[in-house]
Amino acid sequence: MKVMIHNNPEAIGEHLATRILTELRAANAAGRPYVLGCPGGRSPMPVYQALERQLAANPVDCSGLIVAMMDEYLLSGPDGLSPPPASAHYSCRGFGEREIVGRINRALPAALRMPEVNFRMPSLAAPETYDAGLASLGGIDLFLLASGAGDGHIAFNPPGSMRDSRSRIVTLAEQTRRDNLATFPDFHGLDEVPTHGLTIGTGSIANLSKAVAMIVWGEGKREAFRRLSTASGYDPGWPATIAVECRNAELHADAAAGAVP
């Protein structure tokens, strides 16, 4: 996996946003959609912010851009599991609508905006259909990835996930839930973090992605950087290591995460 160290998170964002828009222009010229795999949370935010800045300065037709999200929380209720409303502060759908699609469309004139139909998420009723749907699009052109700081979860795949796991419903590991207390600071304690999630699988990421860019930044991600930069294959104890088995894999870190001890 190619390792790139940037000065700061903003530099990671600018680099990847430039790449995404260059590839989107090429896809537009070829008359095909461009599928961008997206996580929620803090790690990819510099990319989404840079996309907004760059599109405002140099608009690109985003009508062929398809955003494919990784996961969603599930709430337990009398009728079983259900996703939270998009208005919930921790909703992954809400994050995608506000922080990805919202930023892109805010930067563009109406004629160039990304249509709502081009926003995709796994289905609670039939999670396995997500993989087939992405395959029918030709796969994911670039999947932005992030690693849990405490247990290396990727999307909601917990430690112990099988290498070839597919999109599915999972029980969230306690450390994953603790990591997400920082990701979504409006949680007031671990008891408020849902215990289940809907997630794309590790095998789905590896099999469906044409290229991946793992993003780690900040001192809190030094262990993630160490694990990822030294991995030679998938380690179920740190599921984010699936990145090293993906095609055209890159690891993007800032100076704080990539600092030598």
The answer to whether residue 27 sits within a structural domain is no
Given a cut of 90, whether residue 183 has pLDDT beyond it is: no
**Burial level of 92, CB count in 10 A (0-12/13-18/19+)?**
buried
The set of residues, in sequence order, having a beta carbon less than 8 Å from that of 79 and lying 6+ positions away, is none
Given a cut of 80, whether residue 30 has pLDDT beyond it is: yes
Given a cut of 80, whether residue 113 has pLDDT beyond it is: yes
Left, alpha or beta for 214 (phi > 0: left; psi -120 to 50: alpha)?
beta
- Residue 260, pLDDT score: 63
Using one digit for the tens of pLDDT, what is the confidence trace for 187-214?
A: 889 988 999 999 999 999 999 999 999 9
Query: Bigger pLDDT: 260 or 3?
Result: 3
Given a cut of 70, whether residue 261 has pLDDT beyond it is: no
Residue 178 has φ and ψ, to the nearest 5°, of: -65, -40
Interval 20-37 mean pLDDT = 98
The answer to whether residue 3 sits within a structural domain is no
The domain that contains 105 carries what CATH number? Answer: 3.40.50.1360
Given a cut of 80, whether residue 238 has pLDDT beyond it is: yes
- Residue 175, pLDDT score: 85
- Residue 215, pLDDT score: 98
Q: How confident is the model at residue 97 (pLDDT cuts 50, 70, 90)?
A: very high
- Residue 111's domain spans which residues? 36-241
Interval 44-48 mean pLDDT = 98
Query: Are 202 and 160 spatial neighbours (Cβ–Cβ below 8 Å)?
Result: no
Given a cut of 90, whether residue 54 has pLDDT beyond it is: yes
Query: Are 96 and 67 spatial neighbours (Cβ–Cβ below 8 Å)?
Result: yes
Q: Supply the mean pLDDT for the chain.
A: 95
Share of the chain above pLDDT 90, in %: 89
Cα Rg of the chain (Å, integer): 17
Share of the chain above pLDDT 70, in %: 99
Given a cut of 90, whether residue 185 has pLDDT beyond it is: no
**Identity of residue 148:** G
How many structural domains compose the chain? 1
Using one digit for the tens of pLDDT, what is the confidence trace for 212-235?
A: 999 999 999 999 999 999 999 999
The answer to whether residue 197 sits within a structural domain is yes
Q: Would you say the pTM of this structure is higher than 0.75?
A: yes
The answer to whether residue 120 sits within a structural domain is yes
Given a cut of 80, whether residue 2 has pLDDT beyond it is: yes
The answer to whether residue 16 sits within a structural domain is no
The answer to whether residue 215 sits within a structural domain is yes
The answer to whether residue 130 sits within a structural domain is yes
Residue 179 has φ and ψ, to the nearest 5°, of: -60, -35
- Residue 135, pLDDT score: 97
- Residue 182, pLDDT score: 79
DSSP 23: H
The answer to whether residue 17 sits within a structural domain is no
